[in-house]
Structure 1
Amino acid sequence: MNKIFLGLGSNVGDRLTNLNRAIKILSDKIQILKVSKIYETKPIGVENQPDFLNMAVMGQTELDHLSLFEFVKNVEKQVGRVYRYRWGPREIDIDILFYNDLIYKSKALEIPHPRLHERDFVLKPLMDLDPDFIHPVFKKSIRELYEELK
């Protein structure tokens, strides 16, 4: 089984329903081990849009990282994500934050998520899940990254 961390966000429609629906569908192929608290945050990039609800999930899956990526994109479609523009509003956004200690980069996917160490709305939910998890690139715990960001 592969240990994974996913970040979820929603700022369009019934945000809480979108998050809960995504988790339910994700659980078809992911054993959900722990779910963070939900945090309301301001959008980044394009700021003239509704606030986000953000959370993170820790789980296990037998899927390889590329199959997991395809599955996550399919879950976004099932929840009703509509692409509007870069940094735009989203019914649901699901990012693979970590996949074991894998370091992977392609045009469509980067693991670990490339900017999670800069984002309070990602690190705070990760603190709920496993503050001692070591970032495979920075070789620092989530707790250390979170403290550096404060």
Structure 2
Amino acid sequence: MIKVFLLLGSNMGNRQLFLENAISQIETLVGPVIRQSAVHQTLAWGKTDEPDYLNQVLLVETAMPARQLLQTILGIEKQLGRERKEKWGSRTIDIDILFYGNEVINEPDLVVPHPQLHNRKFTLAPLAEIAPGYIHPVLLQSIAQLNEAMA
């Protein structure tokens, strides 16, 4: 089994319910959720005139290859009403792969670790709650170190 960190985000409708539904679908289709951070309310990033987000990080165990994981989470997003209209636009649910084990993947539509992870406090803060000692396989710094650098 591979340990995978996923970031959930929602800023439309019943945000908490969308997070809960996404977690349920992840547990059914991907694998068990081993740990989860608290839910954090954060300002929109990238397109800052959007409503606030609820964000949460999950640690999930899966037997899925990374490409299949990506396709599965895209299907979950679609099932929960995600429409891709504009970059950084509002969404019912967003699910990002932050880490896939210690693998480094650099393909046109799949980059892991997430390329913006270290620049996003809304990702680092909940990730630091559940995995402060996890070492970023490219930057070779712990999540706690990356989070402190954003303070």
What residue identity is the alignment partner of 1:66?
A: R
Counterpart of 1:135? 136
> Segments of 4+ in structure 1 off by > 4 A?
none
Q: Which moved more, 1:96-105 or 1:42-51?
A: 42-51
| C-alpha distance after superposition, 1:77-123 (max 9, x if no partner) | 11111112011001000000000001001111110000100110000
Counterpart of 1:15? 15
Structure 2 CA distance for aligned equivalents of residues 94 and 144 of structure 1:
24
Counterpart of 1:73? 74
Q: CA deviation at 1:45?
A: 1.5
What residue identity is the alignment partner of 2:127?
A: L
Counterpart of 2:47? 46
Structure 2 CA distance for aligned equivalents of residues 84 and 62 of structure 1:
32
SS at match of 1:56: strand
What residue identity is the alignment partner of 2:149?
A: E
CA RMSD of aligned residues (A): 0.7
Counterpart of 2:126? 125
Structure 1 CA distance for aligned equivalents of residues 146 and 40 of structure 2:
18
Structure 2 CA distance for aligned equivalents of residues 20 and 8 of structure 1:
10
Structure 2 CA distance for aligned equivalents of residues 65 and 143 of structure 1:
25
Unpaired segments ≥5 residues, structure 2: none
SS at match of 2:146: helix
Q: CA deviation at 1:48?
A: 1.3
The alignment-based identity, stated in percent, is: 39
So what's the TM-score if we normalise by structure 1? 0.98
Unpaired segments ≥5 residues, structure 1: none
Query: May I ask how many residue pairs the two structures share in their alignment?
Result: 150
What residue identity is the alignment partner of 2:106?
A: K
